[in-house]
């Protein structure tokens, strides 16, 4: 499973309470410091360096709000989440994140950033029941993640499902059929 220390404690052979998973995520986030957040920001800037300036601003805002700021949200989250996590979906997510982590280690780029990416992906999907990218996140072509009639829609879901570098395969958003 994902080699983030606390996530290795998850026993996928039994039911997993959302609250139990949140406790594990909170412990993991407690080890993330300002230097990790700065490294993630540098990673974002590096990844977005070729984007058009007007798109880069939205991209940076979406990732700062959706990933960096959410680390504090997890650390401070005192809400109670009732219910259980879908074990099979969590197992798929952790396996995908493991493969991605292996790739990050091979290319030796931004390994500290990967932990933030992985924790937020699990948190939004399995605790909040929200898409990994926040509502309003802009994608190429001017399309955004939307929330309509209690359903989240993503403009790139289907195009990224088989991308080994994307987490779309386990994101709860549906493909926006209007795109």
The model's confidence at residue 4, banded by pLDDT at 50, 70 and 90, is low
Judge contact between 61 and 22, C-beta under 8 A.
no
Number of domains in the chain: 1
CA pair distance 155, 142, nearest whole angstrom = 10
As a whole number, mean pLDDT of residues 46-66 equals 91
Please list the residues that pair with 124 across neighbouring strands: none
In which domain, by residue range, is 44 found?
A: 5-130
- Which pTM value belongs to this model? 0.91
- Domain membership of residue 149 (yes or no) is no
- Domain membership of residue 175 (yes or no) is no
Q: For position 1, what pLDDT does the model report?
A: 46
- Domain membership of residue 157 (yes or no) is no
Residue 125 has pLDDT above 90, yes or no: yes
**Portion of the chain with pLDDT greater than 70, in percent:** 93
As a whole number, mean pLDDT of residues 79-84 equals 96
The model's confidence at residue 45, banded by pLDDT at 50, 70 and 90, is very high
Chain-wide mean pLDDT for the chain? Answer: 89
């Amino acid at each position: 499973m994902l080699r983030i220390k606390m996530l290795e404690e998850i026993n996928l052979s039994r039911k997993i309470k959302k609250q139990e998973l949140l406790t594990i995520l909170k412990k993991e986030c407690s080890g993330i410091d300002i230097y990790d957040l700065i490294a993630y920001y540098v990673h974002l800037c590096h990844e977005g360096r070729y984007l058009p300036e007007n798109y880069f601003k939205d991209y940076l805002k979406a990732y700062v709000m959706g990933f960096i700021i959410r680390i504090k949200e997890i650390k401070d989250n005192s809400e109670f989440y009732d219910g259980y996590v879908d074990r099979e979906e969590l197992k798929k997510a952790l396996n995908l994140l493991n493969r991605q982590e292996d790739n990050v280690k091979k290319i030796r780029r931004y390994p500290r950033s990967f932990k933030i990416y992985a924790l937020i992906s699990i948190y939004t999907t399995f605790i909040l029941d929200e898409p990994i990218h926040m509502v309003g996140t802009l994608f190429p072509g001017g399309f955004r993640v939307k929330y309509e009639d209690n359903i989240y829609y993503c403009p790139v879901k289907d195009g990224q499902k088989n991308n080994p570098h994307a987490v779309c395969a386990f994101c709860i958003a549906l493909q926006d059929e209007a795109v």
